[in-house]
Amino acid sequence: MNTFLQNDIRKYGKSHATYLDLRDFGFRIDKPEDIRYWYANLKQNLFHKRGQRSALTGQIIKGPIDCHHGIVLRSTISKSIWWHPLIHAEVNLFLLSREEHTKPPSKQRCWTIACKMYGKEVMEKWYFGLPWKLRKPPQYFE
C-alpha cells in the first residue's frame, strides 16, 4: 500500500466523501517533479481504492487501464497555466478500459458519476474552487 493511501486512510477512514488533492500532501504545484510523482502515485491509489473497476460500467477491467480526466480535460488547461496540476485531483480522474477511452464519456456524464461517488457538494467545492479566469468556469453542470 502506498504512502498516499496510508495517509488517506489515517486521515479520513476507509470510506470518506472527500478527495485527494496534491496540496493536502505538501506538494507544490510549481515543481514539475512533484507533479509527476503525485500523478503516478495518485493513479496507483485509484487502482487500489476503486478496485480496478471501470467508472462507466462498474466491471473489473481486464487489460490496460487508462486514467481519463473527465470533467476538466488536460487539453482544456494548458500546461503553461500555473494551476494546471490542480486538474490531477481524484474527483476528475476516471478509470477506463483502453476501449472505453477511445470514445470517452462526456463531461456531463463524468460529472454525474463523480457526484454519485463523492457527493455534489464536494464536486462543486472542487470545480468552483479552481482559479478560473474571471472566476467563472467554462461550463456548468446539472
Question: How confident is the model over 109-124, as pLDDT tens digits?
Answer: 999 999 999 999 989 8
Distance CA 77, CA 36 (A): 17
What pLDDT band is residue 140 in, cutting at 50, 70 and 90?
confident
Burial category of 123 from C-beta neighbours within 10 Å (exposed 0-12, middle 13-18, buried 19 and up):
buried
Q: What is the pTM of this model?
A: 0.76
Write down the residue that cell numbers 453542470 correspond to.
141
Three-class DSSP labels, 38-81: HHHHHHHHHHHHCCCECCCCCCECCCCEEEEECCCCCCCCCCCC
CB atoms within 10 A of CB 99: 12
The mean pLDDT value for 36-51 works out to 83
